[in-house]
Amino acid sequence: MLINSDTDLKRLFETVRTIAVVGCSPKPERPGHYVAKYLQDLGYRVIPVNPGQTEILGEKCYASLRDIPEPVDMVDCFRRAEDIPPVVEDAIAIGAKFVWMQLGIVNEEAAQRAIDAGIEVVMDRCPKIDYPRLFREG
């Protein structure tokens, strides 16, 4: 299912506990860093995924989703739209429940592949914008 409604976004935020951030950045000025930190500060378990790093935000960084040794509820994608299909394949392989494509990222084919595999999808949105809007914080 493609998530567009506030009701479904709230359900996502209330359901998710562990978020793998693909394209997590060690640079504080990058969205792939400060959005992950925001989610971490909210109490979510954030697992960075970036093959060029060993640690980000005080967490062990993994080269790929398939390397993560624990269950992941949501995959948050900071990758270009054309790079999303293999991320979706990995999300399917690890049994993620949600795939979130950040602002400006839309890949209809990858979204449909995820939906067909039973994964709920968010596209072209940012949790750092939606969370405070939905929960009246920050």
pLDDT at 138: 46
- pLDDT tens per residue across all 138 residues of the chain: 999 999 999 999 999 999 999 999 999 999 999 999 999 999 999 999 999 999 999 999 999 999 999 999 999 999 999 999 999 999 999 999 999 999 999 999 999 999 999 999 999 999 999 999 999 854
Report the DSSP beta bridge partners of residue 30: none
- Domains of the chain plus CATH, in order, are 6-135 (3.40.50.720)
pLDDT (0 to 100) of residue 124: 97
Q: What is the pLDDT of residue 136?
A: 80
